[in-house]
Structure 1
Protein backbone atom coordinates (compact mmCIF):
# COMPACT_ATOMS: atom_id res chain seq x y z
CA UNK A 1 0.00 0.00 0.00
CA UNK A 2 1.48 3.39 -1.00
CA UNK A 3 1.60 6.40 1.33
CA UNK A 4 -1.45 8.10 -0.25
CA UNK A 5 -3.56 4.97 0.12
CA UNK A 6 -2.40 4.51 3.69
CA UNK A 7 -3.21 8.14 4.54
CA UNK A 8 -6.65 7.87 2.94
CA UNK A 9 -7.44 4.67 4.80
CA UNK A 10 -6.29 6.21 8.09
CA UNK A 11 -8.47 9.30 7.62
CA UNK A 12 -11.46 7.13 6.71
CA UNK A 13 -10.97 4.99 9.82
CA UNK A 14 -10.59 8.10 11.96
CA UNK A 15 -13.81 9.55 10.56
CA UNK A 16 -15.67 6.34 11.37
CA UNK A 17 -14.29 6.34 14.90
CA UNK A 18 -15.02 10.04 15.58
CA UNK A 19 -18.22 10.70 17.55
CA UNK A 20 -21.08 12.38 15.68
CA UNK A 21 -21.78 15.85 17.10
CA UNK A 22 -25.53 15.66 17.42
CA UNK A 23 -27.21 19.03 17.46
CA UNK A 24 -30.52 19.71 19.17
CA UNK A 25 -32.87 16.97 20.37
CA UNK A 26 -36.06 16.82 22.40
CA UNK A 27 -35.47 17.82 26.02
CA UNK A 28 -32.30 19.82 25.34
CA UNK A 29 -31.84 23.15 27.15
CA UNK A 30 -29.71 25.70 25.30
CA UNK A 31 -28.04 28.67 26.94
CA UNK A 32 -26.33 31.27 24.76
CA UNK A 33 -24.47 34.48 25.62
CA UNK A 34 -22.80 37.13 23.52
CA UNK A 35 -22.75 40.71 22.30
CA UNK A 36 -26.18 42.00 21.26
CA UNK A 37 -26.82 45.27 19.41
CA UNK A 38 -30.13 47.09 19.19
CA UNK A 39 -30.16 49.31 16.10
CA UNK A 40 -33.40 51.39 16.04
CA UNK A 41 -35.06 51.78 12.65
CA UNK A 42 -36.85 54.87 13.92
CA UNK A 43 -39.88 56.32 12.17
CA UNK A 44 -41.62 58.94 14.27
CA UNK A 45 -44.60 61.16 13.83
CA UNK A 46 -44.27 64.92 14.18
CA UNK A 47 -43.99 66.57 17.59
CA UNK A 48 -47.32 67.98 18.77
CA UNK A 49 -48.49 69.98 21.76
CA UNK A 50 -51.21 67.99 23.54
CA UNK A 51 -51.63 70.03 26.76
CA UNK A 52 -51.53 73.70 27.70
CA UNK A 53 -52.47 77.05 26.18
CA UNK A 54 -51.16 76.12 22.73
CA UNK A 55 -52.58 72.56 22.67
CA UNK A 56 -53.10 71.28 19.15
CA UNK A 57 -50.03 73.03 17.75
CA UNK A 58 -48.03 70.85 15.35
CA UNK A 59 -44.32 71.53 15.86
CA UNK A 60 -43.23 69.19 13.08
CA UNK A 61 -39.85 67.49 13.24
CA UNK A 62 -38.86 63.93 14.10
CA UNK A 63 -37.50 61.90 17.02
CA UNK A 64 -34.55 59.49 16.77
CA UNK A 65 -32.96 56.94 19.11
CA UNK A 66 -29.30 55.89 19.19
CA UNK A 67 -28.00 52.31 18.98
CA UNK A 68 -26.53 50.38 21.91
CA UNK A 69 -24.66 47.10 22.50
CA UNK A 70 -25.00 45.00 25.65
CA UNK A 71 -24.65 41.43 26.95
CA UNK A 72 -27.32 39.27 25.33
CA UNK A 73 -28.70 36.02 26.76
CA UNK A 74 -30.83 33.28 25.16
CA UNK A 75 -32.55 30.41 26.94
CA UNK A 76 -34.21 27.75 24.80
CA UNK A 77 -35.99 24.46 25.40
CA UNK A 78 -36.39 21.92 22.59
CA UNK A 79 -39.74 20.10 22.45
CA UNK A 80 -38.52 18.01 19.52
CA UNK A 81 -35.36 17.98 17.41
CA UNK A 82 -37.00 20.62 15.17
CA UNK A 83 -39.20 22.77 17.44
CA UNK A 84 -38.38 24.77 20.54
CA UNK A 85 -39.29 27.82 22.58
CA UNK A 86 -36.77 30.57 23.27
CA UNK A 87 -36.49 33.57 25.61
CA UNK A 88 -34.30 36.54 24.69
CA UNK A 89 -32.92 38.60 27.57
CA UNK A 90 -30.16 41.17 27.96
CA UNK A 91 -28.57 43.69 30.26
CA UNK A 92 -30.34 47.08 30.00
CA UNK A 93 -29.94 49.07 26.79
CA UNK A 94 -29.39 52.84 26.94
CA UNK A 95 -30.51 55.17 24.15
CA UNK A 96 -30.13 58.88 23.52
CA UNK A 97 -33.33 60.52 22.30
CA UNK A 98 -32.97 63.44 19.91
CA UNK A 99 -35.40 65.80 18.25
CA UNK A 100 -34.66 67.53 14.97
CA UNK A 101 -36.32 70.05 12.67
CA UNK A 102 -39.07 71.06 15.10
CA UNK A 103 -40.57 74.56 14.97
CA UNK A 104 -39.57 74.98 18.63
CA UNK A 105 -35.83 75.50 18.20
CA UNK A 106 -34.90 74.94 21.90
CA UNK A 107 -36.26 71.39 21.55
CA UNK A 108 -33.90 70.43 18.73
CA UNK A 109 -30.90 68.33 19.73
CA UNK A 110 -30.58 65.80 22.53
CA UNK A 111 -33.83 65.76 24.50
CA UNK A 112 -32.71 63.11 26.95
CA UNK A 113 -32.02 59.41 27.42
CA UNK A 114 -33.81 56.27 28.49
CA UNK A 115 -33.16 52.64 29.32
CA UNK A 116 -35.10 49.65 28.11
CA UNK A 117 -35.33 45.88 28.49
CA UNK A 118 -36.94 43.94 25.61
CA UNK A 119 -37.66 40.35 26.74
CA UNK A 120 -38.89 38.36 23.74
CA UNK A 121 -40.51 34.91 23.76
CA UNK A 122 -40.39 33.02 20.45
CA UNK A 123 -41.20 29.67 18.90
CA UNK A 124 -38.23 28.47 16.84
CA UNK A 125 -37.97 25.93 14.04
CA UNK A 126 -34.82 24.03 12.97
CA UNK A 127 -35.34 22.45 9.52
CA UNK A 128 -32.21 20.26 9.31
CA UNK A 129 -31.58 16.79 10.68
CA UNK A 130 -30.31 16.76 14.26
CA UNK A 131 -27.06 15.08 13.13
CA UNK A 132 -26.05 18.18 11.19
CA UNK A 133 -23.44 20.30 12.96
CA UNK A 134 -24.80 23.40 11.19
CA UNK A 135 -28.28 24.26 12.45
CA UNK A 136 -30.04 27.28 10.87
CA UNK A 137 -33.39 28.27 12.35
CA UNK A 138 -36.25 30.74 12.10
CA UNK A 139 -38.55 32.01 14.80
CA UNK A 140 -41.47 34.28 15.62
CA UNK A 141 -42.99 35.48 18.86
CA UNK A 142 -44.01 38.32 21.12
CA UNK A 143 -42.01 41.14 22.70
CA UNK A 144 -42.58 43.32 25.74
CA UNK A 145 -40.33 46.37 25.99
CA UNK A 146 -40.05 47.94 29.44
CA UNK A 147 -38.88 51.56 29.20
CA UNK A 148 -37.61 53.22 32.36
CA UNK A 149 -35.12 55.69 33.85
CA UNK A 150 -36.04 58.45 31.39
CA UNK A 151 -34.11 61.67 31.98
CA UNK A 152 -33.88 65.10 30.37
CA UNK A 153 -30.46 66.15 29.07
CA UNK A 154 -28.66 69.07 30.69
CA UNK A 155 -29.12 71.34 27.67
CA UNK A 156 -32.83 70.50 27.37
CA UNK A 157 -33.32 71.20 31.07
CA UNK A 158 -31.69 74.61 30.66
CA UNK A 159 -34.12 75.30 27.80
CA UNK A 160 -37.13 74.66 30.03
CA UNK A 161 -37.90 70.95 29.48
CA UNK A 162 -38.69 68.44 32.24
CA UNK A 163 -40.61 65.26 33.08
CA UNK A 164 -39.59 63.22 30.02
CA UNK A 165 -41.61 59.96 29.85
CA UNK A 166 -42.02 57.10 27.35
CA UNK A 167 -44.61 54.31 27.34
CA UNK A 168 -43.87 50.58 27.47
CA UNK A 169 -44.64 48.52 24.37
CA UNK A 170 -46.10 45.17 23.29
CA UNK A 171 -45.31 43.91 19.78
CA UNK A 172 -44.36 40.97 17.58
CA UNK A 173 -40.87 39.75 16.72
CA UNK A 174 -39.26 37.62 14.00
CA UNK A 175 -35.79 36.15 13.78
CA UNK A 176 -33.33 34.09 11.79
CA UNK A 177 -30.22 32.49 13.23
CA UNK A 178 -27.82 29.58 13.15
CA UNK A 179 -25.90 27.38 15.58
CA UNK A 180 -22.70 25.59 14.63
CA UNK A 181 -21.92 22.68 16.93
CA UNK A 182 -18.24 22.62 17.94
CA UNK A 183 -18.88 19.37 19.82
CA UNK A 184 -21.85 17.72 21.54
CA UNK A 185 -22.13 20.54 24.09
CA UNK A 186 -20.64 23.76 22.78
CA UNK A 187 -21.83 25.87 19.84
CA UNK A 188 -21.23 29.15 18.05
CA UNK A 189 -24.35 31.23 17.43
CA UNK A 190 -25.36 34.17 15.26
CA UNK A 191 -28.84 35.67 15.01
CA UNK A 192 -30.75 38.65 13.66
CA UNK A 193 -34.19 39.89 14.71
CA UNK A 194 -36.79 42.47 13.85
CA UNK A 195 -38.85 43.67 16.81
CA UNK A 196 -42.02 45.74 16.61
CA UNK A 197 -41.63 48.45 19.30
CA UNK A 198 -43.94 51.47 19.40
CA UNK A 199 -44.00 54.11 22.11
CA UNK A 200 -45.40 57.54 22.90
CA UNK A 201 -42.97 60.01 24.47
CA UNK A 202 -44.01 63.17 26.30
CA UNK A 203 -42.10 66.09 27.81
CA UNK A 204 -43.15 69.25 29.66
CA UNK A 205 -42.14 72.68 28.37
CA UNK A 206 -42.00 74.90 31.44
CA UNK A 207 -41.33 78.17 29.61
CA UNK A 208 -45.01 78.11 28.64
CA UNK A 209 -46.70 76.94 31.88
CA UNK A 210 -48.91 73.85 31.53
CA UNK A 211 -47.49 72.94 28.11
CA UNK A 212 -46.69 69.35 27.23
CA UNK A 213 -45.45 68.00 23.89
CA UNK A 214 -45.79 64.43 22.64
CA UNK A 215 -44.45 62.33 19.78
CA UNK A 216 -45.36 58.81 18.63
CA UNK A 217 -42.27 56.76 17.79
CA UNK A 218 -42.02 53.48 15.88
CA UNK A 219 -38.64 52.25 17.15
CA UNK A 220 -38.81 48.92 15.25
CA UNK A 221 -35.16 47.93 15.76
CA UNK A 222 -33.05 45.36 14.02
CA UNK A 223 -31.29 43.31 16.70
CA UNK A 224 -28.05 41.42 16.08
CA UNK A 225 -26.28 38.95 18.35
CA UNK A 226 -23.11 36.87 18.04
CA UNK A 227 -22.00 34.56 20.83
CA UNK A 228 -21.40 31.07 22.14
CA UNK A 229 -23.77 28.53 23.61
CA UNK A 230 -23.90 25.42 25.75
CA UNK A 231 -26.37 22.54 25.59
CA UNK A 232 -27.55 20.81 28.76
Structure 2
Protein backbone atom coordinates (compact mmCIF):
# COMPACT_ATOMS: atom_id res chain seq x y z
CA UNK A 1 0.00 0.00 0.00
CA UNK A 2 2.79 2.37 0.92
CA UNK A 3 4.65 1.46 -2.26
CA UNK A 4 1.55 2.18 -4.38
CA UNK A 5 1.03 5.52 -2.66
CA UNK A 6 4.68 6.44 -3.17
CA UNK A 7 4.57 5.54 -6.86
CA UNK A 8 1.40 7.62 -7.32
CA UNK A 9 3.01 10.59 -5.60
CA UNK A 10 6.10 10.27 -7.80
CA UNK A 11 3.92 10.13 -10.93
CA UNK A 12 2.06 13.29 -9.90
CA UNK A 13 5.32 15.02 -9.05
CA UNK A 14 6.81 14.04 -12.41
CA UNK A 15 3.72 15.35 -14.21
CA UNK A 16 3.93 18.72 -12.48
CA UNK A 17 7.66 18.90 -13.17
CA UNK A 18 6.97 18.43 -16.88
CA UNK A 19 4.15 20.99 -16.92
CA UNK A 20 6.10 23.47 -14.85
CA UNK A 21 9.27 23.29 -16.91
CA UNK A 22 10.73 26.77 -17.13
CA UNK A 23 10.75 28.58 -20.44
CA UNK A 24 14.04 28.46 -22.30
CA UNK A 25 15.85 31.30 -24.06
CA UNK A 26 14.51 31.56 -27.58
CA UNK A 27 11.05 30.20 -26.76
CA UNK A 28 8.13 31.94 -28.48
CA UNK A 29 4.75 32.04 -26.74
CA UNK A 30 1.76 32.92 -28.92
CA UNK A 31 -1.55 33.78 -27.26
CA UNK A 32 -5.02 34.60 -28.46
CA UNK A 33 -7.26 36.52 -26.09
CA UNK A 34 -10.69 38.06 -25.94
CA UNK A 35 -10.16 41.49 -24.40
CA UNK A 36 -12.30 44.23 -22.96
CA UNK A 37 -10.97 47.76 -23.53
CA UNK A 38 -12.41 49.73 -20.62
CA UNK A 39 -11.60 53.47 -20.73
CA UNK A 40 -11.30 55.40 -17.46
CA UNK A 41 -11.46 58.63 -19.37
CA UNK A 42 -11.23 62.22 -18.26
CA UNK A 43 -12.32 64.80 -20.82
CA UNK A 44 -12.39 68.55 -21.23
CA UNK A 45 -15.26 70.59 -22.61
CA UNK A 46 -15.69 70.96 -26.35
CA UNK A 47 -14.03 74.34 -26.79
CA UNK A 48 -15.01 76.98 -27.69
CA UNK A 49 -18.58 76.21 -28.77
CA UNK A 50 -19.67 73.76 -26.04
CA UNK A 51 -17.60 74.38 -22.87
CA UNK A 52 -20.22 72.55 -20.81
CA UNK A 53 -20.43 69.63 -23.23
CA UNK A 54 -18.02 66.74 -23.61
CA UNK A 55 -17.78 63.08 -24.68
CA UNK A 56 -17.70 59.68 -23.02
CA UNK A 57 -15.77 56.84 -24.67
CA UNK A 58 -17.64 53.54 -24.67
CA UNK A 59 -16.09 50.13 -23.87
CA UNK A 60 -15.09 47.73 -26.66
CA UNK A 61 -14.70 43.94 -26.77
CA UNK A 62 -12.44 42.47 -29.44
CA UNK A 63 -9.98 39.62 -30.11
CA UNK A 64 -6.28 40.18 -29.49
CA UNK A 65 -3.11 38.41 -30.65
CA UNK A 66 0.19 38.65 -28.83
CA UNK A 67 3.69 37.25 -29.16
CA UNK A 68 6.07 36.76 -26.22
CA UNK A 69 9.78 36.06 -26.81
CA UNK A 70 11.89 34.73 -23.93
CA UNK A 71 15.42 36.11 -23.58
CA UNK A 72 15.96 34.00 -20.45
CA UNK A 73 13.75 31.57 -18.55
CA UNK A 74 12.20 34.55 -16.69
CA UNK A 75 12.68 37.70 -18.80
CA UNK A 76 10.61 38.16 -21.94
CA UNK A 77 9.23 40.82 -24.26
CA UNK A 78 5.62 40.84 -25.45
CA UNK A 79 4.12 42.52 -28.52
CA UNK A 80 0.36 43.06 -28.24
CA UNK A 81 -1.73 43.50 -31.40
CA UNK A 82 -5.41 44.46 -31.49
CA UNK A 83 -7.74 47.12 -32.85
CA UNK A 84 -10.95 48.28 -31.22
CA UNK A 85 -13.99 50.39 -32.25
CA UNK A 86 -15.30 53.00 -29.83
CA UNK A 87 -18.45 55.12 -29.79
CA UNK A 88 -18.18 58.65 -28.39
CA UNK A 89 -21.33 59.59 -26.50
CA UNK A 90 -22.24 63.20 -25.82
CA UNK A 91 -22.38 64.40 -22.22
CA UNK A 92 -23.41 67.67 -20.60
CA UNK A 93 -24.74 70.07 -23.24
CA UNK A 94 -24.23 67.34 -25.88
CA UNK A 95 -26.06 64.58 -24.02
CA UNK A 96 -29.20 64.99 -26.12
CA UNK A 97 -27.29 64.05 -29.26
CA UNK A 98 -26.50 60.53 -28.05
CA UNK A 99 -23.60 59.19 -30.08
CA UNK A 100 -21.62 62.09 -31.56
CA UNK A 101 -18.87 60.09 -33.29
CA UNK A 102 -17.17 56.73 -33.65
CA UNK A 103 -13.50 55.90 -34.05
CA UNK A 104 -11.15 52.93 -34.30
CA UNK A 105 -8.00 52.66 -32.16
CA UNK A 106 -4.92 50.65 -33.12
CA UNK A 107 -2.67 50.49 -30.04
CA UNK A 108 0.43 48.29 -30.61
CA UNK A 109 2.10 47.83 -27.23
CA UNK A 110 5.45 46.34 -26.23
CA UNK A 111 6.17 45.28 -22.66
CA UNK A 112 9.18 43.74 -20.95
CA UNK A 113 8.05 41.03 -18.53
CA UNK A 114 9.39 39.15 -15.54
CA UNK A 115 7.91 35.67 -15.06
CA UNK A 116 7.65 33.80 -11.76
CA UNK A 117 7.51 30.02 -12.45
CA UNK A 118 5.82 28.22 -9.55
CA UNK A 119 6.19 24.56 -8.62
CA UNK A 120 2.61 23.73 -9.63
CA UNK A 121 3.09 25.06 -13.16
CA UNK A 122 1.23 28.36 -12.66
CA UNK A 123 3.34 31.25 -13.96
CA UNK A 124 2.40 34.79 -12.92
CA UNK A 125 4.21 37.71 -14.52
CA UNK A 126 4.47 41.48 -14.41
CA UNK A 127 5.42 43.82 -17.21
CA UNK A 128 5.99 47.43 -18.18
CA UNK A 129 6.49 49.05 -21.54
CA UNK A 130 5.39 51.54 -24.16
CA UNK A 131 2.27 52.06 -26.23
CA UNK A 132 1.64 53.93 -29.46
CA UNK A 133 -2.02 54.40 -30.38
CA UNK A 134 -3.12 55.30 -33.90
CA UNK A 135 -6.70 56.51 -34.35
CA UNK A 136 -8.42 55.98 -37.69
CA UNK A 137 -11.85 55.91 -39.40
CA UNK A 138 -13.14 58.82 -37.30
CA UNK A 139 -16.74 59.59 -38.29
CA UNK A 140 -19.21 62.15 -37.02
CA UNK A 141 -22.67 60.77 -36.23
CA UNK A 142 -25.83 61.75 -38.06
CA UNK A 143 -27.15 63.38 -34.89
CA UNK A 144 -24.09 65.64 -34.68
CA UNK A 145 -24.15 66.66 -38.33
CA UNK A 146 -27.90 67.28 -38.19
CA UNK A 147 -27.35 69.58 -35.21
CA UNK A 148 -24.30 71.58 -36.34
CA UNK A 149 -23.65 70.69 -39.99
CA UNK A 150 -21.08 68.53 -41.77
CA UNK A 151 -18.23 67.92 -39.34
CA UNK A 152 -14.80 66.37 -39.82
CA UNK A 153 -13.29 64.68 -36.76
CA UNK A 154 -9.62 63.86 -36.23
CA UNK A 155 -7.93 62.38 -33.14
CA UNK A 156 -4.22 62.88 -32.50
CA UNK A 157 -2.12 59.75 -32.13
CA UNK A 158 -0.89 58.95 -28.63
CA UNK A 159 2.36 57.73 -27.05
CA UNK A 160 2.39 56.53 -23.45
CA UNK A 161 3.31 53.96 -20.81
CA UNK A 162 1.81 50.52 -20.26
CA UNK A 163 1.71 48.37 -17.12
CA UNK A 164 0.75 44.70 -17.04
CA UNK A 165 0.06 41.80 -14.71
CA UNK A 166 -1.04 38.33 -15.72
CA UNK A 167 -0.81 34.61 -15.20
CA UNK A 168 -0.38 31.51 -17.37
CA UNK A 169 -2.04 28.30 -16.12
CA UNK A 170 -0.86 25.10 -17.82
CA UNK A 171 -3.11 22.68 -19.67
CA UNK A 172 -0.12 20.53 -20.64
CA UNK A 173 3.56 21.17 -21.41
CA UNK A 174 2.67 23.17 -24.55
CA UNK A 175 -0.76 24.76 -24.07
CA UNK A 176 -1.96 27.11 -21.34
CA UNK A 177 -4.83 29.33 -20.26
CA UNK A 178 -3.99 32.99 -19.76
CA UNK A 179 -5.52 35.87 -17.83
CA UNK A 180 -4.06 39.36 -18.25
CA UNK A 181 -4.75 42.95 -17.16
CA UNK A 182 -3.05 46.03 -18.57
CA UNK A 183 -3.27 49.72 -17.82
CA UNK A 184 -2.38 51.82 -20.87
CA UNK A 185 -1.80 55.56 -20.96
CA UNK A 186 -3.65 56.95 -24.00
CA UNK A 187 -4.12 60.72 -24.20
CA UNK A 188 -5.44 62.45 -27.31
CA UNK A 189 -7.04 65.64 -28.58
CA UNK A 190 -10.07 65.40 -30.85
CA UNK A 191 -10.49 68.20 -33.39
CA UNK A 192 -13.97 68.84 -34.80
CA UNK A 193 -14.05 71.01 -37.90
CA UNK A 194 -17.44 72.36 -39.00
CA UNK A 195 -16.94 74.78 -41.86
CA UNK A 196 -14.75 77.59 -40.52
CA UNK A 197 -15.43 76.64 -36.88
CA UNK A 198 -12.85 74.45 -35.14
CA UNK A 199 -13.58 72.85 -31.75
CA UNK A 200 -11.29 70.67 -29.70
CA UNK A 201 -11.75 68.30 -26.77
CA UNK A 202 -8.95 66.68 -24.74
CA UNK A 203 -9.57 63.02 -23.96
CA UNK A 204 -7.49 60.92 -21.57
CA UNK A 205 -8.73 57.38 -22.26
CA UNK A 206 -6.22 55.55 -20.00
CA UNK A 207 -8.03 52.20 -20.38
CA UNK A 208 -7.78 49.00 -18.44
CA UNK A 209 -7.47 46.14 -20.93
CA UNK A 210 -8.73 42.89 -19.41
CA UNK A 211 -8.09 39.68 -21.33
CA UNK A 212 -8.71 35.94 -21.14
CA UNK A 213 -7.44 33.41 -23.66
CA UNK A 214 -5.17 30.50 -24.52
CA UNK A 215 -1.52 30.28 -25.48
CA UNK A 216 0.95 27.86 -27.05
CA UNK A 217 4.72 27.67 -26.69
CA UNK A 218 6.86 27.07 -29.76
Structure 1 length as normaliser, TM-score? 0.86
Per-residue deviation, 1:41: 0.6
The 3-state SS of whatever aligns with 2:32 is strand
Measured on the aligned residues, the alpha-carbon RMSD in Å equals 2.0
Secondary structure of 1:177's partner? Answer: strand
Does the 8 A contact of 1:107 with 1:156 survive in 2?
A: no
Q: 1:54: which partner in 2?
A: none
Render the CA deviation track for 1:83-108: whole Å, top value 9, x for unaligned: 01110011x21100122113xx5984
Structure 2: gaps spanning 5 or more residues: none
Q: Does 1:97 align with 2:95?
A: no
| Whole-Å separation in 1 of the counterparts to 2:13 and 2:122 | 19
Q: Give the superposition deviation at 1:63.
A: 1.7
Q: Which residue of 2 aligns with 1:148?
A: 136
- Residues 179/106 of structure 1: CA separation in 2 closer, same or farther (3 Å cut): closer
Q: Is residue 2:12 matched to residue 1:15? A: yes
Q: How many residues align?
A: 215
Distance across 1 between alignment mates of 2:12 and 2:214? 26
Distance across 2 between alignment mates of 1:76 and 1:12: 33
Query: Within 2, Cα distance between the matches of 1:112 and 1:93?
Result: 14
Cα offset, 1:192, TM superposition = 0.1
Shift of 1:141: 0.3
After TM superposition, where is structure 1 displaced by more than 3 Å over at least 4 residues in a row? 16-19, 105-108
Q: 2:194 aligns with which of 205, 219, 224?
A: 205
Scaled by the length of structure 2, the TM-score of the pair is: 0.91
Aligned match of 1:37: 36
Q: How does 1:1-232 map to 2 (within 5 A)?
A: 1=1, 5=2, 7-15=4-12, 18=15, 20-21=18-19, 22-49=21-48, 59-90=51-82, 92-102=83-93, 108-128=97-117, 132-159=120-147, 160-206=149-195, 210-232=196-218
Which sections of structure 1, spanning at least 5 residues, go unmatched? 50-56
Mapped contact 1:119–1:143 kept (Cα < 8 A): yes
